Amino acid sequence: MTKLLEIYKCNVCGNIVEVIHTGVGQLVCCGQPMELLKEKTADVGQEKHVPVIEKTGAKILVKVGAVPHPMEEKHYIEWVEVVADGRSYRKFLKPGEKPEAEFEVTAQKIEAREFCNVHGLWKSS
């Protein structure tokens, strides 16, 4: 059974999917169950992954993280996602870009997530 907005990864081929409609079935890829990625909310090392949300009028700026995360070929933030008021927003990032994303969101309750290609899934605490 899946839940809305859960993110699953295939540990064989690297496919990553987000659930946009729940079902009772188990997600399978490359012949084995996909791994449900758990969002981490606290950094312990030097690198900072927890998204930081800054409100600027009708927009929000989501930075990864309190200290900018590396954006190198082999280690970078692949995307930043915001869920607010029943809408989801996502910006895909590339190496060399800033580890941040701006969205037009005025909702008060905002949750941000990001995916690091080395350290996985993180969300704002």
Nearer to Fe ion among residue 19 and residue 35 (C-beta): 35
Residue 50 C-beta: closest distance to Fe ion, Å: 11
Nearest CB to Fe ion, comparing residues 91 and 119: 119
Its sign, for the CA torsion 109, 114, 120, 122, is negative
Q: Which is nearer to Fe ion, 29 or 81 (CB)?
A: 81
Residue 37 beta carbon to Fe ion: minimum distance, rounded to whole angstroms: 14
Closest separation between CB of residue 103 and Fe ion, Å?
Answer: 22
> Binding-site residue total for Fe ion (CB under 5 A)?
3
91-120 positions binding Fe ion, by CB under 5 A: 116, 118-119
Residue 85 zone, left/alpha/beta (φ > 0; ψ -120 to 50; rest): left
16 Rama sector, left if φ>0, alpha if ψ -120 to 50, beta otherwise? beta
Contacting residues toward Fe ion, per CB under 5 A: 116, 118-119
